[in-house]
Amino acid sequence: MELLIGKTLNELREWALKHNLERYRADQIYQWVYKKWEDNPERFTNISKELRKWLKENAKFHTLEKIERVEAPDSVKYLFKTEDGHLVETVLIREKDHWTLCVSTQIGCNVGCKFCATARDGLIRNLTAAEIVDQLLWVQKDIRDLDKPWNKVRNIVFMGMGEPLANFNNLKKAVEIFVDQKGVDISKRRLTISSSGILYQLRKMAQDPLLRNVNLAISLNAPNQKIREEIMPITKTNPFDELWDLLVNYPLPEGRKITLEYVLIKDINDQREHAEELARLIKPHRKRFKVNLIPYNPSPILPYERPPEGRIYEFQKVLLDNAIITTIRWSKGQDVFGACGQLRAKREIPLLNRGEFVKN
């Protein structure tokens, strides 16, 4: 059986012609899968029964297996298994009036941020484009029958397991499928790629006509080389000054800003002096940046702590006093260990709706 998920429309058309199907059949299948979130060809009502039967026997519409769905008041975490037996986590986040989906691009991660649980296992492998796209398809199938606006994911953030830009080609293909108006049709303004700041891949993204038109978020997490290198060892080979110069000159679409993500870790990068140094760095370029302060999400396998709430607000005030757009992102998904930096931790997860446990 051939996997159809993860194919662009042109690739699906080529597949149809290879199997002596009319070209327009590919367009029909594409819309059933990416517009109506249907994975059962028996329900493809605008094609013949014979073709439906043939598709049932010869085509696959998922590459991931949904293992578990764990709910919290502000989020839902999905646990998937790949065909080679690895686990992938995806988090659906409830915003004020829409859903945001946090998707993974790798199994594990080799960036090695010391405060991130996902990095503990290192990198196992990249996810394929099909595995990235399938995370959305499973979630959309799950929510498609809800009332609007809750029956469709509005925003996608590549902030799950892994460094998205280290899986550049598969990331780009997934983005191409997500923004295709004949299919998923998510606005480029509602897609965000989060990166740890690997210079080579960032330069490649800046030159790519598709990826440079989606939103960029950078995990900065420090105001200088010394602190950033301490908690993000990749800074040794991707120096802070070079990263900052790249960001200051990054080709932004009109009206967009780069998001600087700053995880606040108690007694590491959360002091007033750190806020003032960060403000001095950003202020001359404040029209092109906004700051997301992320209070650290504790993990049972890591030694770091969240700063006191008062210190978090003091840090924000320093930036606001310098006319820098700054929000505090109180991470969602902590109840299911799906918040920032908590994915793929070794733990027991209480299944809130059944009172059972699953280990991963």
Active site residues: 89, 340
Amino acid identity, residue 136?
L
Strand residue runs (E) in 203-246: 215-219
Taking the C-alpha atoms of residue 117 and residue 230, their distance in angstroms, rounded to an integer, is 16
Contact 62, 138 (CB under 8 A): yes
Q: What is the DSSP letter of 355?
A: T
Residue with tokens 């800074």: 235
Tokens found for residue 113: 């941020």
Directed axis angle between helix 168-179 and helix 129-143, to 10°? 40
> Which residues, 6 or more positions from 76, have their beta carbon under 8 angstroms from its beta carbon?
69, 70, 91, 92, 336
Residue with tokens 């950078």: 218
Please report which helix (H) or strand (E) contains residue 176, including its range. helix 168-179
Amino acid identity, residue 324?
I
Among 81, 94, 89, 71, which residue's Cα sits nearest to residue 351? 71
